[in-house]
Amino acid sequence: MKKTDLVMIVVIASIGMVIAFFVAKTIFGDVYNGSAKVKTVDPISSSVEEPSADIFNKNAINPAVQVNISETK
């Protein structure tokens, strides 16, 4: 490969990169530097609330108890 061929490849690649830069800038636009409003989260407190009596009561079904459907033992 001659020295002029290598220089021509570098020049063509440089021109292609400059063209690609400007095409991408027109398609995607500039970087947005505006501000955005976001909701803030309330801090978690260390207080524990009593669970609902409708769900946690003494007559509730306990899923941890093994239930035999058939009469095999």
Residue 26 falls within a domain, yes or no? Answer: yes
Cα 53 to Cα 30, 48, 49, 59, 65, distances in angstroms: 57, 15, 12, 11, 21
Taking the whole predicted model, whether its pTM rises above 0.85 is answered as: no
Q: Encoding tokens for residue 12?
A: 């063509």
Residue 63 falls within a domain, yes or no? Answer: no
Task: Give the pLDDT score at 50.
Answer: 85
Query: Per-residue pLDDT averaged across 1-28, rounded?
Result: 92
Total domains in the chain come to 1
Residue 16 falls within a domain, yes or no? Answer: yes
Task: Give the pLDDT score at 15.
Answer: 97
Task: Give the pLDDT score at 40.
Answer: 92
Cα 24 to Cα 6, 18, 21, 32, 62, distances in angstroms: 27, 10, 5, 15, 62
Q: Is the pLDDT of residue 7 over 70?
A: yes
Give the residue numbers spanning the domain of 8.
Answer: 1-31
